[in-house]
Structure 1
């Protein structure tokens, strides 16, 4: 399928075939897609937990409004933000840049210090909101890669983050759950499987060469 055919094929899968599992190659592709997604300043303030354990899925299911995607999916991806963006975190990025690119400290130091000052000027809420925005970028990228690879997915905000954080022990890791993405393969009896997409006409949403006047 080309990219548009893949996006036409994609839908928010409500029930997965529990017998069908992602291959190691498919899972590795999604891991790499996660890691390659663009983030602000390249700081990657989002981590992803991959859940396959049925007991853990069952516990999360209770706090996800009993949505079947959680328990029937092959793998449950939980996107979490780092709640800490301190000097140590920023330094670790620049040390990695030096290692990978061979960039000198002389070139890096000014931007490194600027970035530290930027984050020192942010409130905790601003730091977390910035990371949340990037989690949504990652979610969109993962969904597109899933579609291209013929993997079903379902983006989910419908869960109680505090309870999921508790189940997964995230607070001790300075993490908060933000989004979930169950992935796998659609069940034959998923009621959404054969429904046509409902989308507004493109001309009602995209405007070309239009000057917006005040």
Structure 2
């Protein structure tokens, strides 16, 4: 049975950017596993999945990250901290990996995907977008972030997307310097504290009439 329309809207109305987490409450293993799979199942351009997701629960490591996150308490107080990483460069090896995985998963010959492989090569590896591939990869990561926020809301897990951090310092602390991936955006996940005044505020959104046009 599918999700009722009102259930989805209620979940989206319920969620907000949580500012104060209950540091004593943790997301259970089954719920967290589901949220990890929501990340894995996220859509991406060409299906390339140019990302990795670091789930950080180590208190000492999070304490090191907090000063480089505008000292925001969500970093240390949330249940699970996710650092969403983007691929620095898209290479021929990335395209080949996707083609191989697709052929194996669907039981087809890799050669039948030669045209698709060439599209990736011409667009992202050799084409003009290769010069702005970092922005392209970041765009893909934000699709994953949005999917995580919505999935969490449906499971009544609170989240806060965080751009207020120093990516270079995160990369240093997380040993990502020289890695194929780099920090892009952060998401704190857990449960809101009763002391978070923002949890009771009415959501501010422009009307559908202002934001949506039908042509």
Runs of 4+ in 1 over 3 A off after TM superposition: 122-125
Map Cα deviations across residues 154-196 of structure 1 (whole Å, 9 max, x no partner).
0111101100111101123221111000000001111211111
TM-score (norm 2): 0.93
Give secondary structure in 1 for the equivalent of 2:172.
helix
Deviation at 1:18, TM superposition (A): 0.9
Q: 5 Å matches for 1:113-132?
A: 113-118=118-123, 119-122=125-128, 125-132=131-138
Q: Which runs of 5 or more residues in structure 1 are unaligned? A: 210-214
Map Cα deviations across residues 73-132 of structure 1 (whole Å, 9 max, x no partner).
000000110112111111111111111001213311232133223212246541111100
> How far, CA to CA, are the matches of 2:128 and 2:151 in structure 1?
33
Between 125-134 and 110-119, the greater mean CA deviation after superposition: 110-119
Equivalent of residue 87 in structure 1, options 75, 84, 92: 92
Deviation at 1:26, TM superposition (A): 1.0
Equivalent of residue 104 in structure 1, options 106, 109, 117: 109
Give secondary structure in 2 for the equivalent of 1:198.
coil
Q: Which runs of 5 or more residues in structure 2 are unaligned? A: 1-5
CA RMSD of aligned residues (A): 1.4
Equivalent of residue 163 in structure 1, options 157, 164, 169: 169
Give 2:194's aligned residue: 188
> How far, CA to CA, are the matches of 1:30 and 1:208 in structure 2?
34
Give 2:31's aligned residue: 26
Give 1:207's aligned residue: 213
> How far, CA to CA, are the matches of 2:18 and 2:166 in structure 1?
20
Deviation at 1:55, TM superposition (A): 0.9
Between 190-199 and 47-56, the greater mean CA deviation after superposition: 190-199
Map Cα deviations across residues 17-54 of structure 1 (whole Å, 9 max, x no partner).
11111111111111111011110100000111000011
Give secondary structure in 1 for the equivalent of 2:83.
strand
Deviation at 1:208, TM superposition (A): 2.3
> How far, CA to CA, are the matches of 2:20 and 2:197 in structure 1?
8
